[in-house]
Amino acid sequence: MSPLSNIASRDVETLVHPYVNLASFRETGPLIIERGQGVYVYDSDGKPYIEGMAGLWCTALGYGNEELVEAAATQMRKLSFAHLFSGRSHDPAIELAEKLKEIAPAPISKVFFCNSGSEANDTQVKLVWYLNNALGRPKKKKIISRVKAYHGVTVVAASLTGLPANHRDFDLPLPGFLHASCPHHYRFAQDGESEEQFSARLAEELDALIVKEGPDTVAAFIAEPVMGAGGVIVPPRGYFEKIMAVCLKHDVFIISDEVICGFGRLGTRFGCEKLNFVPQSISIAKALSSAYLPIAGVMIPEIMYQALLTESKKIGVFGHGFTYGGHPVSAAVALKAIEIYARERVVERAAERTPQFQARLSALGRHPLVGEARGLGLIGGRELVADKTSKRSFAPQHGVGGRAVQFAEAEGLIVRAVLGDVVTLCPPLVISAEEIDELFDRLTRALDKTLDWVTRERLAQS
């Protein structure tokens, strides 16, 4: 193995990186990204890569958008910082909240700003607890998420997340956080079970879980319209309609985590609109500012706002907030991003690109390594398997998904492996037809190289 470059060595000795094996990372070092333009990023050697993950599911408008840069610079010159504590405010936060209420997919009363999807989902839980205290239901506090869900990494958000690596040795999840079955038909449907039958069974299981726990103790159900970091899992037909009916039956508050799916990813402005999912509150982040600056929010219904009024009147203060929540520069950039989405018909154009993207994705399902190619809109995942017929996975220690990512990087494409061997795609929404084809051409070559490696090492046999 060649020695690390100077900048890579500096990185290894100064940073703790999320989501890597920190021990082996000391040997491999980082991929240093220096600049970006459009759907491309460039490393420290000048090599270009198609950013097939839009950063982390977030740079919807691609890199180097001068309007967003200018919006930040203009606001920074005018008012570089202001907070929303103790009754203070500023135009960008007010205008952004007004715009979000205008475009919301469900009736929204107010918007609470924070800085990340984790903070938004953490806030959702606190507000649901606050709501039930205001309504005189102090036992109604349990929150139901799903196996393989991803809702963040703060202590509460990580408890919502249904991935073992986010729990192990962090002493998580906290008590009172439950995980319903994962809606992945390919992995969890019974033999001969249709998507509709699978959905009905999952709804029955959710109903049974709520009854077992006691409906008077179950406060909320949270879901991503399409599960992202859990492997790009598209729910089976009829799933959300049946799940919502169960929640309404037991007066369980419904939360849509739109951190990945919001602002056009599925070809609609919000993911819940694509999947006939009608939430009561909504978490937003990532593409809200096309990730140019950190900003997130919770879109709050009137019943919850009334609870905030009641409890803060009783207590004397609403004791929750973040120093940078609604930061004026971040809010100005988010406003400009929403303007661009509308003016340039970004969501509609992403929907127009969807058939091409999904056709190329589906074609990869015929690759010898791919057990299932799945997706919706401009998001997709390919689950790599040792045996297509039995759906047998590779042994985790082989790191087949990680090796596929390395081969993709060699081809000039950035993708991500989640849950071991699910290779995910989530390009900027502004990707062109030609760039989609180039992306999949590079990915196909990477999968072919992965297959050669798997065959040479006889990994499918172990």
Instruction: Kindly list the domain boundaries of the chain, sorted by start residue.
Output: 31-64+346-461, 67-343
CA diameter of the chain: 69
pLDDT, tens digit (0-9, with 9 covering 90-100), for 353-411: 999 999 999 999 999 999 999 999 999 999 999 999 999 999 999 999 999 999 999 99
* Residue 417, number of CB atoms within 10 A of its CB: 21
**Fold matches, 31-64+346-461 and 67-343:** no
pLDDT above 70 for 286: yes
Cis omega (within 30 of 0) for bond into 215: no
User: What number of helices (H) and strands (E) belong to the chain?
Assistant: 16, 15
> Which residues, 6 or more positions from 204, have their beta carbon under 8 angstroms from its beta carbon?
none
Count Cβ neighbours within 10 Å for each residue of 344-382 and write b for 16 or more, e otherwise: eebbebbbebbeebbebbeebeebebbbbbbbbbbbbbb
Look at residue 249 and tell me whether its pLDDT is greater than 70: yes
Q: Tell whether the model's pLDDT for residue 412 goes beyond 60.
A: yes
Determine the pLDDT at residue 2.
67
pLDDT at 293 over 80: yes
**Burial track 43-62 (b if 16+ CB lie within 10 A, e otherwise):** beeeeebbbbbbbbbbbbbb
Closest CA to 241 of 203, 214, 267: 203
* CATH 3.40.640.10, applies to 67-343: yes
The amino acid that residue 267 corresponds to is: G
Q: What per-residue confidence (pLDDT) applies to 148? A: 97
Instruction: Judge contact between 252 and 217, C-beta under 8 A.
Output: no
Average pLDDT of the chain, as a whole number = 96
Residue 106's Cβ-count burial label (10 Å; 0-12, 13-18, 19+) is middle
According to CATH, what is the number of the domain 31-64+346-461?
A: 3.90.1150.10
- Whether the per-residue pLDDT at 85 is higher than 70: the answer is yes
SS (H, E, C) 31-44: CCEEEEEECEEEEC
123 and 298 in contact (C-beta within 8 Å)? yes
pLDDT the model gives residue 419: 86
Rounded to an integer, what distance in angstroms lies between the CA atom of residue 51 and that of residue 263?
Answer: 18
Q: Assess whether pLDDT exceeds 80 at residue 462.
A: no
Q: Which residues pair with 376 in a beta bridge?
A: 379
pLDDT digits (tens, 9 = 90+) for 141-168: 999 999 999 999 999 999 999 999 999 9
Q: What is the pLDDT of residue 328?
A: 98
Q: At 106, give phi and psi (nearest 5°).
A: -145, 160
The pTM assigned to this predicted structure is: 0.95
* Whole-number percent of the chain with pLDDT over 70: 99
Question: pLDDT for 27-62, tens place per residue?
Answer: 888 999 999 999 999 999 999 999 999 999 999 999
pLDDT at 19: 87
- What band does 420 get if pLDDT is binned at 50, 70 and 90? confident
pLDDT tens for residues 109-142?
999 999 999 999 999 999 999 999 999 999 999 9
pLDDT for 1 beyond 60: no
- Indicate the pLDDT class of residue 236, thresholds 50, 70 and 90: very high
**Of 12-26, 304-318, 435-449, the least confident:** 12-26
Q: Count other Cβ atoms within 10 Å, centred on residue 241.
A: 14
Percent pLDDT > 90 in the chain is 94
